[in-house]
Structure 1
Amino acid sequence: MNTKILSPLFVLLLMFSCKGQTETTTEQTLEQVEVKTQLFDADALLERVKFLSLDSLEGRRTGEKGGLIAREYVVNQFKKYGIAPLLSDYTQPFSFEGRRDKKTYEGANVLGLIKGTEQPDKYIVISAHYDHVGVNDGEVYNGADDDASGTSAIIAVAEYLKNNPPKHSVVIAAFDAEELGLRGAAHFLEANTIPKEQIAIDINLDMVGRNDNNELYVVGTNLYTQLQPAITDLELPENFKLSVGHDGLDDKDNWVSSSDHGPFHKQEIPFLYFGVEDHKDYHKPTDDFEFIQPEFYAKAVTVIISVFERIDEMRF
């Protein structure tokens, strides 16, 4: 669905000035895409992806050194932006047995809370996963798009919400062990972290940092038709497409259970999933920061914030 009309929110949004072709270093990338926005710090958005996809984090595998470093980094980012912990601490530890190797894994979700001003007992979960697949055959799988991009994006959304308090309470959820079977999201629900009836929706971000066709998908509106007004007649940035599908009702790959929104859907909690179609570097050691597309990425986060604003206006 590609629709464009003006909305007041986009008066505040993004003006891009691209200066030459994208280079591979962070410094050059940040210099070449100037982003002026009152919504979030676009430079910080990129810097977080850069850090989370460093070789030294060894692919952020759950329970391993790099995964622990990533977890601590996300906690510190929550603190930096004044995001309160949802629980007594920012982390929600859990353990599980691997399906294939029968190994016991120790994971931990990172959970923050922004209290709502009008419906504080109804929660919108905004999620991404900070883990990736680690090191395989001596090669580091850095997972810049999958899903360092989503992890950084939920922090950008939180940054916006701290300055623009939401009506519903918002849980900022950086889930662990998505790559091992959506375990972090499943634990969040199984532990009754928030009673099911108080969760209005999960908005999940997984792979939102690059697309050669400037196309972002939103999945869920064909299954939960009450959410369709959130994307109908939505103003989009220039040269940006927001498409629907991949919901099991068309001839495209079914993404309904492909990421952390899956456990929510299984419990009949509505969801919106934002992501791009698989690119050539998906689950490969070449999913590196240098291939993140700063202009597309910032536009994607801006659109996600616009959709959130509409969701927040709904009564659940």
Structure 2
Amino acid sequence: MPFVLIYILCISIAWGSPWRSIEQLPAVITEKDNLSVLEHLKNLSSDQFTGRKFASQGSVESQAYLVSALKALSIPAFNNQYHHNFKQSGLFQSKQGTNIIAYIQGTHQKDEYIVLTAHYDHLGTKRNKVYNGADDNASGTAALLLYAKLLKKSPLKYSVILLFTDGEEVDLLGAKAFIAQQSKILSKIKLNINLDMIAGSKKTKKLHFLKKDLSQILSTQKLEALTQLQNHFKTNSSVNLTPGFRRVKSVGSNVNRANWLMASDHGVFSKAGIPFIYFGVGTHKNYHSEFDNYANINQNFYLAAINIIFQQLVYIDNAMYEGAIPD
């Protein structure tokens, strides 16, 4: 395929006000980065990990893959450990889940955090067929690995916690465990950005988003500028960035996807009073099936999606900091 060479832009006169306060964005997504993120997505959704089912050997092996990738990028572990275990209690036995968490210190607001989340678990195997979960959610997981690389080179003003959650497909267990285990820093978490299904299928044309409580962290002016930027991406981007999701309950889902506020890990952060933005394509014909594999994702769409999500992350980081500076 012709790989999309995506540049993260500096000030653009044509784009107007959302970027006027940003002198330079901190990184460029290169063709090499595109190849790398696609390779991660391909690997994570391969049969090697047998569908990454919660508390399975495939899950353990995918954890090892993530930690190896983070170490190769010299990304520090969160609180000096990558593996953060939790238990799922059952009637006859309990199972262990494991969040993988990394950390990149900010340049200015070191003790305040933006948490980037993507769940790496999926459904495992059914009827001897591997449910690879390429879109759901190797796509978001691979994107976080790319963002880790970019932010290691050029950190944001706020510190970033990279949270690869386990057990999202099992009642959002990993996100709930993180909130419970990190109660001491919850008041310091400014924002959650959650990526869950951002590669779609071959026919996917829209990247949806949902945001809540951003007025807690952005002034009216900055929030309006963010909306302008998102409107720009709706009409001037190949991913057609679109607010909101269709209210459809999908067959086979463990979560009622009609309730998009609680459809993925962002819902747990929202319940804890933390503002969020959730990016995803919504359900499609390959959702929770054996056809959600690497061959069936929309690669060009995916590469464009990770670009515009990252641009919004950079804008919000700068906008929050500018709002936090005393007059």
Aligned-residue offset at 1:165: 1.3
Partner of 1:268: 273
Aligned-residue offset at 1:228: 5.5
Contact 1:220 1:270 in 2 (8 A): yes
Partner of 1:65: 57
Q: Per the alignment, do residues 206 and 179 of structure 1 end up closer, same or farther by CA in structure 2, a change over 3 Å counting?
A: same
Contact 2:106 2:156 in 1 (8 A): yes
Write out per-residue CA displacement over residues 242-284 of structure 1, whole angstroms, 9 at most, x where no aligned residue. 1111399xxx933111111111001111011000021101011
1:283 counterpart (271, 288, 291): 288
Q: Per the alignment, do residues 294 and 247 of structure 1 end up closer, same or farther by CA in structure 2, a change over 3 Å counting?
A: closer
Partner of 1:292: 297
Q: Distance in 2 between matches of 1:214 and 1:39?
A: 22
Stretches of 4+ moved more than 2 A in 1?
A: 4-9, 36-40, 210-214, 223-240
Q: Distance in 1 between matches of 2:40 and 2:292?
A: 15
Q: Distance in 1 between matches of 2:188 and 2:162?
A: 15
Contact 1:12 1:39 in 2 (8 A): no
Contact 1:218 1:242 in 2 (8 A): yes
Residue 181 (1) aligns with residue 171 (2): yes
> Counterpart of 1:92 in 2: which secondary structure?
strand
Partner of 1:16: none
2:307 counterpart (281, 302, 306): 302
Partner of 1:107: 97
Contact 1:201 1:270 in 2 (8 A): yes
Q: Per the alignment, do residues 157 and 40 of structure 1 end up closer, same or farther by CA in structure 2, a change over 3 Å counting?
A: farther
Partner of 2:194: 204
Read off the aligned partner of 2:258 and give its amino acid letter. D
> When the two structures are superposed, what TM-score results if normalisation uses the length of structure 1?
0.83
> When the two structures are superposed, what TM-score results if normalisation uses the length of structure 2?
0.80
> Counterpart of 1:131 in 2: which secondary structure?
coil
Aligned-residue offset at 1:194: 5.2
Read off the aligned partner of 1:216 and give its amino acid letter. L
Contact 2:29 2:307 in 1 (8 A): no
Partner of 1:230: 226
Residue 240 (1) aligns with residue 239 (2): yes
Write out per-residue CA displacement over residues 217-247 of structure 1, whole angstroms, 9 at most, x where no aligned residue. 11114x5344554342345364331111139
Partner of 2:15: 5
Q: Per the alignment, do residues 58 and 166 of structure 1 end up closer, same or farther by CA in structure 2, a change over 3 Å counting?
A: same
Contact 1:220 1:247 in 2 (8 A): no
Percent identity of the aligned residues?
35
Residue 78 (1) aligns with residue 83 (2): no
2:208 counterpart (210, 217, 233): 217
Aligned-residue offset at 1:196: 1.0
Aligned-residue offset at 1:81: 1.4
Contact 1:108 1:176 in 2 (8 A): yes
> Counterpart of 1:195 in 2: which secondary structure?
helix
Residue 168 (1) aligns with residue 158 (2): yes
Richer in helix (by share): 2
Q: Distance in 1 between matches of 2:129 and 2:316?
A: 41
Partner of 1:24: none
Measured on the aligned residues, the alpha-carbon RMSD in Å equals: 2.7
Q: Distance in 2 between matches of 1:253 and 1:95?
A: 28
Write out per-residue CA displacement over residues 127-186 of structure 1, whole angstroms, 9 at most, x where no aligned residue. 100110111222211100000000000111111111221100000110111111110110
* Larger displacement relative to structure 2 (187-196 or 142-151): 187-196
Structure 2, unpaired ranges of 5+ = 1-13, 248-256
Richer in strand (by share): 1
